[in-house]
Amino acid sequence: MAQLRREIAAQRRRIVKQQLTPKQISERTTLERELFMLKNQRLIEAGRKAKRLSRRFGRGILKTGEKIAPVIKRQSRLIRQQQLRDDAIQRKLAKRRPRKKKKTQKRFDPIGEFNF
């Protein structure tokens, strides 16, 4: 993703200096489209994880006009908090003593003891 950003930035610098050919313009648009798809994919992945935590954030992920970065930060914060809660619960459960199984005594079976 960082490499795509660098390539797009380099192409933008070239645009300022000179006019691009149609081939270069199409190449630039494909790079920007790929970058957009990657950002969207990250957003959707974060939303899927966060949907488990909060319906409000899960539903409102792709609001129109909303910037991607703050949403991802919010989602990742929520996910991290949930992970910390899960870890705390696991530690508490690990500290608990397991239930002792009751020992069952073998019953005396008079018929089974004697073989005639």
What is the mean predicted confidence (pLDDT) over 23-47?
A: 74
pLDDT tens per residue, range 14-28: 665 566 677 777 777
Q: What is the pLDDT of residue 88?
A: 86
Total number of domains constituting the chain: 1
Residue 13: CB atoms within 10 Å: 9
Which range, 14-18, 35-39, 41-45, has the best average confidence (pLDDT)? 35-39
Whether 50 is in a domain gets the answer yes
What is the mean predicted confidence (pLDDT) over 54-78?
A: 62
pTM assigned to the model: 0.28
Largest CA distance in the chain: 109
Instruction: Identify the domain containing residue 83 by its residue range.
Output: 2-90
Whether 104 is in a domain gets the answer no
Whether 85 is in a domain gets the answer yes
